[in-house]
Every structure is written in structure tokens, then in C-alpha cells.
């Protein structure tokens, strides 16, 4: 075992956990869950069967990640944010895992504290979901969305800094271009903090 799990947490047989990942108090990792390396799993987190979590992911306290959710590398899940996997749940009429609706959180995205990600959406690379927002549709790469329901109000750099008209980051010096409502990186120069 090359990861850390606090003694109050349960790691079910069959779960795969990457090297140097830390799992804190009162967590439950179900069988067949896959967690990458160098992740930080906060207190009271539940990770269901067949969930896939990439490398360097940070999941804050009180997050439940249900079957059907895939999280790529470097994603940040804020405290008490919510995932779902059924658009029309009924206690009396469970649909079963074959009918769970899939959700994908792409590389580097941030899901702010107390936001809700309604199942069936894709959150783009390096997108940022504001705290308390309710996401009901796909979010483009680098988009900044807030509100209920969440609406795009701007763009953010890979480093998290909001971008303005010229699409140049004044923190890390990355430059972007906007074509057909899609933002893409045009240089890899990074001078963070300069």
C-alpha cells in the first residue's frame, strides 16, 4: 500500500488507489473505484463503484461522487459540492446502474463549493464553476460560469485568473484565442507570479 488512508475510512476490496494519494477521515471508497496518484481526498467523502478519478485531483470535504462520474487529472472539487447520476430519481422505482447518466469533468476544471453538477453534462478543460452554481448543460473549455442555472460570464486562464478582452493572462502570461466561441491556448509561456 503506497497511499495513506486514515484509520476511520473504509477502503473496500477491489478499489484501486494510486501512489501518494491521501484519504482523510470518515471516507468510503467502494469496490471498483479507481483513484489516481497524488490525490487529496478530504473528510467525509464517498466514492462509489466504478468512479474514475485521475491524478493530482483535490476533493474537499463532504463530497459524494456517484457511479457514472469520471474526473480527469488536476480537477478541484470544492467543499460540499454535489454530483448526481439520475435525472428523474424515484425511491420506489430505481433504474439500476445500467441507466445512470454519465458526467465528465475534464482536466484542470474547478467545481466551486456547494455547486451542483446535474448528470449528463461535460465540464470542459480548465473551466471554472462558481460556488453555489447549478450546472445543467455542458461547459466549454476555460469558461467561467455562475448562477442558478449556471450561465457563462467570462473566461479563465489555466492558472485560474479571469481573462479580459485580449485573452492574455496578467498573472502567468499565457495567451489564448477565441474562434467560433471556443477558447484555445496559443502559447505555453508561463511566468507565474512575475
Read off the pLDDT band of 187 (50, 70, 90).
confident
Q: What is the pLDDT of residues 30-79, one digit of tens each?
A: 999 999 999 999 999 999 999 999 999 999 999 999 999 999 999 999 99
Note whether 66 and 83 are within 8 A (CB). Answer: yes
Note whether 21 and 41 are within 8 A (CB). Answer: yes
Q: What is the value of pTM for the model shown?
A: 0.95
Structural domains present in the chain: 4-156 (2.160.10.10), 165-194 (no CATH)
Give the separation between CA 169 and CA 152, rounded to whole angstroms. 18
**In this structure, what C-alpha cell is assigned to residue 102?**
454519465
Q: What is the pLDDT of residues 125-177, one digit of tens each?
A: 999 999 999 999 999 999 999 999 999 999 999 999 999 889 999 999 999 99
User: What sign results for the dihedral spanned by CA atoms 71, 75, 79, 82?
Assistant: negative
Phi, psi of 50 (to 5 degrees): 65, 10
- Residue found by looking up cell 467523502 in the block: 45
Amino acid at each position: 500500500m503506497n497511499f495513506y488512508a486514515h484509520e476511520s475510512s473504509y477502503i473496500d476490496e477491489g478499489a484501486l488507489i494510486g501512489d501518494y494519494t491521501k484519504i482523510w477521515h470518515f471516507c468510503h471508497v467502494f469496490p471498483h473505484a479507481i483513484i489516481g496518484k497524488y490525490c487529496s481526498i478530504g473528510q467525509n467523502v464517498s466514492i462509489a463503484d466504478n468512479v474514475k478519478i485521475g491524478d493530482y485531483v483535490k476533493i474537499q470535504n463532504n463530497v459524494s461522487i456517484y457511479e457514472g462520474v469520471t474526473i480527469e487529472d488536476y480537477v478541484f472539487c470544492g467543499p460540499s459540492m454535489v454530483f448526481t447520476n439520475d435525472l428523474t430519481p424515484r425511491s420506489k422505482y430505481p433504474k439500476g446502474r445500467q441507466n445512470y447518466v454519465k458526467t465528465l469533468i475534464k482536466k484542470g476544471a474547478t467545481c466551486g463549493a456547494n455547486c451542483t453538477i446535474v448528470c449528463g453534462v461535460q465540464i470542459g478543460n480548465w473551466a471554472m464553476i462558481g460556488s453555489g452554481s447549478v450546472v445543467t448543460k455542458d461547459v466549454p473549455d476555460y469558461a467561467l460560469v455562475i448562477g442558478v442555472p449556471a450561465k457563462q460570464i467570462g473566461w479563465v486562464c489555466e492558472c485560474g485568473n479571469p481573462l479580459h478582452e485580449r485573452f492574455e493572462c496578467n498573472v502567468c502570461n499565457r495567451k489564448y484565442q477565441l474562434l467560433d466561441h471556443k477558447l484555445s491556448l496559443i502559447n505555453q509561456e508561463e511566468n507565474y507570479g512575475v
